[in-house]
Amino acid sequence: PDTERARKRGVSVGKQRDDAMVDVHGTLTPEAWAVWEVIFAKYAAPGMCNPDDPEPCTSGTPSQAQIDNDHRSLAQRQHDAIVAVGRIALMSGELGQLNGLPVSVIIRTTLQDLESRAGVGVTGGGTVVPIAEVVRMAGHANHYLAVFDKATGSALELFRAKRIATPAQRIMLIAREGGCTKPGCTVGAYGCQVHHVVTDWAEGGNTNVNELGLACGPDNRSVDADDGWTTAMNERCEVEWTPPADLDTGQARINYYHRPELLLRPPEEPEPHGHNTTDAAEHTGGEVVDTEAGVPPAIGDAGEPGGPAPPEDRAA
């Protein structure tokens, strides 16, 4: 019966493995399979969406040469079809917004890793992506690549006199923070809101990147200068959370769960916060980045030990 099939339906996604692969298992309803059946018939056909092709066929009909040179298994073709269809959906602009930002893949990496073609990037959801795949993904529209200097970080100055953070600011925050900044919270950046760290907007706070941070909904609502948690930005542009007196046990003030690599960096002299104000474009590192179409770099800062220990598969 329909109720029994509905009860059994589901798709589960495992944790990312040491080889960076992710296991996906599912049980589809007849309706769901009918949708993917025809999608696979088109996009998983021999010669379609082949990443080994210099110019993969993603629409129309593949050439006979593309068909003949396609040595992938059916399972591999179906995997590549899922990637292609997902990319089409992202590029369509029809997926709406996720916490104020158009649904997009946002990846954080370093200039050194890009130049050496070694290392990894990390998405806003915490997925580790090998640098070769980062470079390939950066060539597609609607993906955002935030680059910062591995040693010192790069200051991105984004200033707007409004309450709502701009998409460019959100991209920068996702790349800089990686997730909720409250110690003990493991919610990734895609599930977070922009939080006025220094002074709440209602109290005259500014919507400037060096005064903003990420916080999940419950933690954002827990901030109350009178009798709740309070937040502040330290000299390294890290969000520090101070509990109310009755909850203060000397716990960590900074959350490094989402950026464990910061624990491996030696302390450095803090860089001054940005101070210039621009509108259509933002200035950083001697280059002008168009906030409407460009890809802003992120800030990487040195940190001090604290916060929950990162899981083994997330260690840098």
pLDDT, one tens digit per residue, over 258-304 is: 988 888 765 554 444 444 433 333 333 333 333 333 333 333 333 33
pLDDT at 65 over 60: yes
d(CA 144, CA 294): 9
10: in domain: yes
pLDDT of residue 277: 36
Residue 283 domain-assigned? yes
Is the pLDDT assigned to residue 247 strictly greater than 60? yes
Comparing CA positions, the residue from 215, 230, 210 lying closest to residue 270 is 210
- Residue 236, pLDDT > 60, answer yes
pLDDT band at residue 206 under the 50/70/90 scheme? low
- pLDDT of 52 over the 70 cut: yes
Residue 79 pLDDT greater than 90, yes or no: yes
Q: Are residues 303 and 164 in the same domain?
A: yes
Q: Are residues 182 and 270 in the same domain?
A: yes
Q: Does residue 189 contact residue 179 with C-beta atoms inside 8 Å?
A: yes
Longest dimension (CA), the chain: 72
The predicted pLDDT at position 54 comes to: 82
Matching residue, tokens 């309706």: 31
pLDDT at position 106 is 84
Same domain membership, residue 298 and residue 209 = yes
**pLDDT score, position 202:** 56
The number of helix segments (H) and strand segments (E) in the chain equals: 8, 16
Tell me the average pLDDT across 254-258. Answer: 92
Asked whether the predicted pLDDT for residue 217 surpasses 80, the reply is yes
The mean pLDDT of the chain is 78
Residues 281, 165 share a domain? yes
Q: Tell me the average pLDDT across 234-254.
A: 89
**Cα 53 from Cα 93, distance rounded (Å):** 26
73 and 177 housed in the same domain: no
Average pLDDT, stretch 216-230? 87
Please tell me which residue, 235 or 130, carries the higher pLDDT value. 130
Average pLDDT for residues 156-167, to the nearest whole number?
47
Look up the pTM and report it.
0.54
63 with 173, same domain: the answer is no
Most confident of 5-9, 111-115, 133-137: 5-9
> What is the C-alpha radius of gyration for the chain, rounded to an integer number of angstroms?
22
pLDDT of 16: 96
The total number of structural domains in the chain stands at 2
Task: Answer with the one of 92, 123, 146 that is the final residue of a domain.
Answer: 92
Query: Domain ends where: 69, 92, 115?
Result: 92
| Residues 177, 180, 182, 186, Cα dihedral to 10° | -110
Q: Are residues 82 and 166 located together in one domain of the fold? A: no
Domain-embedded: residue 138: no
Domain assignment of residue 149, yes or no: no
Confidence band (pLDDT; 50, 70, 90) for 116? confident
Most confident of 37-41, 52-56, 258-262: 37-41
Look at residue 23 and tell me if it is in a domain. Answer: yes
For residue 252, pLDDT beyond 80: yes
The whole-number pLDDT of residue 141 equals: 52
Residue-level pLDDT at 289 = 35
pLDDT top residue among 85 and 166: 85
The CA distance from 56 to 47, in Å, is 8
Structure tokens at 296: 């802003």
Instruction: Provide the pLDDT confidence category of residue 239 given band limits of 50, 70 and 90.
Output: very high
* For residue 155, pLDDT beyond 80: no
Domain boundary among 92, 113, 137: 92
- 173 and 303 inside one domain: yes
Reading the block at residue 230, the tokens are 């309070």
Q: Can you give the residue range of the structural domain that contains 35? A: 2-92
Do 40 and 180 belong together in one domain? no
Take residue 33 and report the two structure tokens written for it.
């399979």
Q: Is residue 139 part of a domain?
A: no
Residues in the chain: 316
- The β-bridge partners of 229 are 223
Q: How far apart are CA 316 and CA 313, in angstroms?
A: 9
The whole-number pLDDT of residue 75 equals 98
Residue 104 within any structural domain of the chain: no
